Structures are given as structure tokens and as C-alpha cells.
A and B are shown apart, each in its own frame.
Chain A
Amino acid sequence: AQRVTQPEKLLSVFKGAPVELKCNYSYSGSPELFWYVQYSRQRLQLLLRHISRESIKGFTADLNKGETSFHLKKPFAQEEDSAMYYCALSGDQAGTALIFGKGTTLSVSS
């Protein structure tokens, strides 16, 4: 069965500190992994996807198949990064739904 685990409900850091939001997954095939973000009073939106190997707003995430992880990292947190972050997984066949973790609230204070 597909499963996404985000072990931290809340992560509080100071501005300028490094951030790592953890995500582990369970999937028998080759998964597609995503990070979605929900800022206050805004819609849930895509932050980045593993296939793109891109850096968005300074965030990166590397898929580690050996550890079945897809942790989200940023070297220097900003106050505007404060939001709810969801890790999500879809299967390796078209037509499979997106499954989300329980989310981690990131709070960045000055």
C-alpha cells in the first residue's frame, strides 16, 4: 500500500537557520514524489517535484530510494517560508491518485 509519513507536526526555526522537513514513503514500485505548500489563507500549491530536480524558493529535495525518503531542505530559512508543507506520492502509472502525508507546519521567527 502507498503511504507517506511526515514525522514532525511542527518545526520551529529562527530566520537564517537551516531547515529540513522529513518525508518517508512506502511504495512497491517506482514512486513519483512531490512537495506541496499551503501558505496562510492561500490554496494548496505545488512547491517542487522530484523528477524536476529543481530548486524552488531555495528549497530542494532529493529522492533517496535506499532510505525511501524525500526530505525537503533549505539552507537559510526566511520568515515568508512559514506555512504548512505536505509531502505527496503518486504511483508509477498514469491514473493513480496523489496520496499525502499529514503535513508539517514550518514556523520561522526572527
Chain B
Amino acid sequence: DGGITQSPKYLFRKEGQNVTLSCEQNLNHDAMYWYRQDPGQGLRLIYYSQIVNDFQKGDIAEGYSVSREKKESFPLTVTSAQKNPTAFYLCASSNGHLNTEAFFGQGTRLTVV
């Protein structure tokens, strides 16, 4: 079954703890993205990566970190420095070309308790 998979679907974290969200794709896509979706805010770009071992900050990168050691994987770590981490997180991938379609995962809902 090809596609992009995020895990877990729901995640709870205590304040002050770091947590890592998983994103895996088997579409052989070069580009991968992390977005945060909040009510009334739309999708805001956190980080993106166009190629293995390279990534760029998006509009709201503060308090987050990523790695891209493998083409198929782009994990996102929400650190304790993120002031308001409770949100719905979406991962996406594309082949990185112009006008290309982005494919989205089903999302992870993170709640800080």
C-alpha cells in the first residue's frame, strides 16, 4: 500500500518533555514537509526538506527540529521550547518538481497535558 504514513495518530505529552512525530513515505519522493494545522490558522509550514541530509526552516520553526537521514523518513521533534505545542500536525511529500502534487498523511494530534 503506497503512500505517506504518520504515527501515532494521537500523542500526549507532559509539559517540558520533547516528543517525536514519525512520518514515512514509500512514494520515492525527494521532498517532504511538516505543517501545523490550527483552527482558523490554516496550514503553517514548520520545516521542509528537498533532499536527504538537507532541510530548511518554514514560517514557524521555533521550538521544532527535524532530521532527514533517509529519503523515506522525515521525523519532527517538538521540543520543550515550543510555547504552544498542542495542535494537529500534517506531514506531506512530493517529487519536488514544479507544479507537482503534494500527498498528505492522516496527521498526528498532539496534546500537551
B53 → A minimal CB distance (Å): 15
CA–CA, A9 and B58, complex, Å: 24
Counting CB contacts under 8 A, is B2 at the interface?
Answer: no
* With A43-B105, A43-B106, A44-B90: A92-B98 Cβ-Cβ less than 8 Å: yes
Tally of contacts, chain A with chain B, CB under 8 A: 53
Counting CB contacts under 8 A, is A46 at the interface?
Answer: yes
Q: Which residues of A contact B96 (CB under 8 A)?
A: 94-95
**Chain A residues engaging chain B, CB cutoff 8 angstroms:** 6, 9, 32, 36, 43-46, 49, 51, 86, 90, 92-95, 97-103
- CB-defined A-B contacts under 8 Å, sample of 26: A6-B42, A9-B40, A32-B98, A36-B102, A43-B106, A44-B92, A44-B104, A45-B104, A46-B101, A49-B99, A86-B42, A86-B43, A92-B98, A93-B98, A94-B97, A94-B98, A95-B50, A95-B96, A97-B48, A97-B56, A98-B33, A98-B45, A100-B35, A100-B43, A100-B45, A102-B42
